[in-house]
Structure 1
Amino acid sequence: MALDLHRIRAETPGCHDLAFFDSAGSSLPPAPVLDTVIGHLRREAEVGGYRAAAERAADLAAVKDAIGALIGAPAGTIALSDSATRAWCDFFYAVPLRAGQRIVVTGVDYASNAIAALQRARAAGAEVVVLPSDADGRVDLDALDAVLDERVALVSLVHVPTNSGLVAPVREIADRAHAVGAPVLLDACQSVGQVTVDARELGVDALTATGRKWLRGPRGTGFLYVRPELIERIEPRSLDLHSAQWVAEGEYCVASDAARFETWEADVAARLGLGAAVRYLLELGPDHVFAAITRRAAGIRERLAALPAVTVRDPVGGALGGIVSFTVDGVDPDRVQAALFDRGVVVSVTRRGSTLRDMTARGLTAAVRASAHAFVSDVDVDRLVDGIVGLDVRPRS
């Protein structure tokens, strides 16, 4: 059954006045998410946060069930967090690291992950090694054997980078990493909600994602998945009375499931909103939503590539997701963004500092990023393209 675009737009209040192309940044939540979050905040105002949370205990537990249904994982393997970055760091800093070992990363690493890897490597006397890649940022699978060996403590992968539609061949890399005994941590911040993500099929040991992007949930939400066989073998760097129990003087017991990566204090309204967002996606049918996002992105790339002053910066060929990055000759990306916003079109700018290795390798300091969710219409795309055509650009030499 095809998606009902009229229904989706009717349930997305924010898309009525704006042509919105920033779901890779912070997407527009549907009405059920708004109602859930606002309703719980009102209940907290009536009876206090503790009682309001107690009343929704079963619903809070069901958030993990919904996430598990989406990514093919048991609820006990999922820890809720306040961001993808926090979830990623909670796992990353728990992985043992010794002098002489390696942290293997990709050329499209996001700045937060790259900084954490450099910090830990410096402190431990370890080394950060970048997987070889081609000019578009694709990992060179044929060159993996030269990098992956018994010195590797962790392989950190990015499923979809922040600055292009590239989709990484995660399973192929994970299998080779496991062959040398290295665990794999997947940053799925830009993939969960826009492409199929099955934790078991991907073969990763841990996976992190956010609620505010393609899942269309509230800000301040995220989650961590940890492979069941690994959970009890890895202890987080910090614990509290939720992630562990104080059972005797000088003794504590860590939670047996992924809750060991959680803390007691949380934004309950936001987490309930995250659950509503995931259930909304499941109700629409993830495969239908993912297909709509991919088709829309492909159409945008085609139309932008036809404009004489525009260069699409996404890879050519291969699997591509919903992020479309481009530049306009003679026009700074910030100016493109501002001019489009004046026309009611929302895009974002991806900067060199966010993906330093990749942008430097491609000779880019910044690019415009258009990321269209399933609620984007043909009229919205026309507004995007017309807005770019209306820019004052100089012809290519």
Structure 2
Amino acid sequence: MIRASVDLNSPWDLCEFFHFGGQMLDINQLRADTPGVNQIIHFNNAGAALIPDPVIAVMTRHLQLEARWGGYEAAAQVEAELEGVYLSIARLINAQPKEIAVIENATRAWDMAFYSLPLMPGDVVLTSTTEYAGNYIPYLQLKKQRGIEIRFIPNDEYGQVSLAALETMLCDDRVALVSLPVIATNGGPVQPIEQIGALARAAGVLYLLDACQGAGHIPIDVKKIGCHMLAATSRKYLRGPRGMGFLYVEKNLCQNLEPTFLDLHAASLLTPETFEIRGDAKRFENWECNIAAKLGFGAAVDYALATDVDAIWERIQSLASYLRTRLAQVNGLANQDVGQVKSGIVTFTLNGHTSSQLQHMLGAEKKRINVTPSTFRSTMVDMQQRGLKDVVRASVHAYNTESEIDVLIEALERFSSEQP
């Protein structure tokens, strides 16, 4: 899977670092590629998944190149591989490489898209009740600065966006943007993003997706979805390094959006009085970046593609279903997931215990179990509507196993029998 040694004096072929064949997942190979599974049980993939060895190898190799040759010189040696990152991300979401920007994180990627939109006083932004606070705060900022209006799309009986309600709301000519997460950080449904896209396109309204919890988790095809813009991160289900994300902007829209920030990478100085913004999505980037992390991000995308995202999604659904079934057997525990299509993010509450207490208790087990709290501050509207203060979030990935879930359940059963 990984070469024992590499030539530090020349670029390399990523395919030499890993190889998968066929559509069937080899769980043993996934775990062999993931050193972290030997010491922890990791159910915090919606926060930051465990990085596989092939990604670590790519990043380590480039840091060694920088140490030997210098940062600029090392970057010059891997210029083709850096361009390959755009090809890989484009393939992941069925886009064109020129529609991809690689940015230092998904938050900044989303910001670069949102703040470039020419929203005017009276323009309406439609979002879901599961919108992440990091996105909702910018809505409020532009409400204050520009006078935009924010409206929530009601949920249907399953707890996901009501398509009938959305269609009605889109009849208002003031609606300028539909913006929401594919999957909420606090669980919730996999939103019907293709149907939402069809309605937005028919109404001539821009469509921005936060795919932080979706990329690498579920198959994403921007052509089928119909979104104009999409932002996602490296560190979650794509299993890449922290501090990396990407932005997709449809080519027909890209040249009509002027980024809030420009530098000599996003634009060129033509004369002492004039400049020109580049034509592709790299206009949303800046010149300086973490080259090792960028290459690692590309390797993580290649790993997901080689493993097969459809197979990953099928495996995640199976594990999440097993986890929900087992959780139902724990006294005093309530599963808090909603939606027709549920994701690999499984949320629950346990009588007498806060989510932070359970995180600490599970982390203190003989073999550490990683979960995380999700509080109302992250998804305030959804949590308030459902009467929740916080939930425990256990998010599974393809490399997790049923036996690891059994260990989690045994611990929760023990906690439930103890006096709070």
Q: Would the aligned equivalents of 1:77 and 1:225 in 2 still touch at CA under 8 Å?
A: yes
How many residue pairs match? The answer is 395
Write the letter of the residue equivalent to 2:83: A
Match of 2:133 in 1: 111
Specify the alignment match of 1:193 in structure 2. Answer: 216
TM-score by length of 2: 0.91
CA-to-partner distance for each residue in 1:361-386, whole Å, 9 max, x for gaps? Answer: 01011000011111111221111111
Equivalence for 2:415: 391
Other-structure match for 1:152: 175
| C-alpha displacement of 1:72 | 0.5
| Runs of 5+ consecutive residues of structure 2 not aligned to the other structure | 1-22
Q: Which amino acid aligns with 1:341?
A: G
Counterpart of 1:249 (choices 262, 266, 272) is 272
Shift in Å, 1:335: 1.0
Unaligned runs of 5+ in 1: none
2:147 to 110, 125, 131: 125
Report Cα offsets for 1:18-66 as digits up to 9, x if no partner: 1110000001000011111122112112211101111111101100111
Alignment of 1:358-373 (within 5 A): 358-373=382-397
Contact 1:137–1:358 (Cα < 8 Å) also in 2:
no
User: Equivalents in 2 of 1:115, 1:135: separation in Å?
Assistant: 27
The 3-state SS of whatever aligns with 2:377 is helix
Which AA in structure 1 matches 2:375? R
Match in the other structure for 1:378: 402
Q: Which amino acid aligns with 1:37?
A: M
Contact in 2 for aligned 1:129/1:147 (Cα 8 Å): no
Contact 2:43-2:369 within 8 A present in 1 as well: yes
Q: Is the CA contact 1:331–1:393 (under 8 Å) kept in the aligned structure 2?
A: no
Give 2:73's aligned residue.
Answer: 51
- Could you list the runs of 4 or more consecutive aligned residues of structure 1 that deviate by over 3 angstroms after TM superposition? 134-137, 392-396
- Tell me by how many angstroms 1:393 deviates: 4.6
Counterpart secondary structure, 1:390? helix
Cα distance in 1 between the residues matched to 2:419 and 2:321 = 25
Counterpart-to-counterpart distance in 2, 1:154 and 1:392: 45
**Is contact 1:194-1:289 (8 Å) kept?**
yes
- Structure 1: distance between partners of 2:117 and 2:417: 50
CA distance in 2, matches of 1:103, 1:74: 27
Aligned to 1:98: 120
* Deviating more after overlay: 90-99 vs 174-183: 174-183
Q: How many Å apart are 1:395 and its aligned residue?
A: 9.4
Q: Distance in 2 between matches of 1:137 and 1:81?
A: 32
Q: Distance in 2 between matches of 1:281 and 1:143?
A: 36
Q: 1:224 to 1:58 in 2, by over 3 A?
A: same
Alpha carbons of structure 1 residues 293 and 165: separation in structure 2 relative to 1, 3 Å: farther
User: CA RMSD for the aligned pairs?
Assistant: 1.5
1:23 match: secondary structure: coil
Aligned to 1:354: 378
Query: What residue is the counterpart of 1:184 in the other structure?
Result: 207
Letter in 1 for 2:142: R
Name 1:16's counterpart in structure 2. 38
- Could you tell me how far 1:309 is from its partner in structure 2? 1.4
Cα distance in 1 between the residues matched to 2:158 and 2:383: 10
1:85 has 2:107 as partner: yes
Cα shift readout 1:242-277 (whole Å, capped 9, x = no counterpart):
011111231111111111111000010000000110
Report the alpha carbon displacement of residue 294 of structure 1 after superposing the two structures with TM. 1.1
Question: Structure 2: how far apart are the matches of 1:373 and 1:69?
Answer: 21
Name the SS for the 2:131 alignment partner.
Answer: coil
Inter-partner Cα distance in structure 2 for 1:145 and 1:63? 37
SS in structure 2 of the partner of residue 391 of structure 1: helix
Q: Distance in 2 between matches of 1:266 and 1:137?
A: 40
| Structure 2 equivalent of residue 271 of structure 1 | 294
1:36 aligns to 2:36 (yes or no)? no
**Cα pair 1:162 1:350 within 8 Å, conserved:** yes
Structure 1 residue 179, shift from structure 2 partner: 2.8
Cα deviation, 1:129-172, whole Å, max 9, x if unaligned, reads 11111476411111124422210121112101001141011122
Partner residue, 2:15: none
Find the residue that maps to 2:403 and give its secondary structure: helix
What is the CA deviation profile of residues 338-380 of structure 1, one whole-angstrom value per residue up to 9, with x for unaligned ones?
Answer: 1111111111110100000000001011000011111111221
- Structure 2: how far apart are the matches of 1:179 and 1:238? 31
Read off the aligned partner of 2:354 and give its amino acid letter: D
Query: Which of 167, 176, 184 lines up with 1:161 in the alignment?
Result: 184
The answer to whether the 8 Å contact 2:331/2:416 transfers is no
**Counterparts of 2:166 and 2:216 in 1: how far apart (Å)?**
29
Alpha-carbon distance between aligned partners in 2 of 1:393 and 1:163, rounded to the nearest angstrom: 26
Which stretch has the larger CA shift, 185-194 or 124-133?
124-133
Per the alignment, in what secondary structure is the counterpart of residue 216 of structure 2? coil
- C-alpha deviation, 1:392, in angstroms: 4.4
- 1:218 alignment partner AA: P
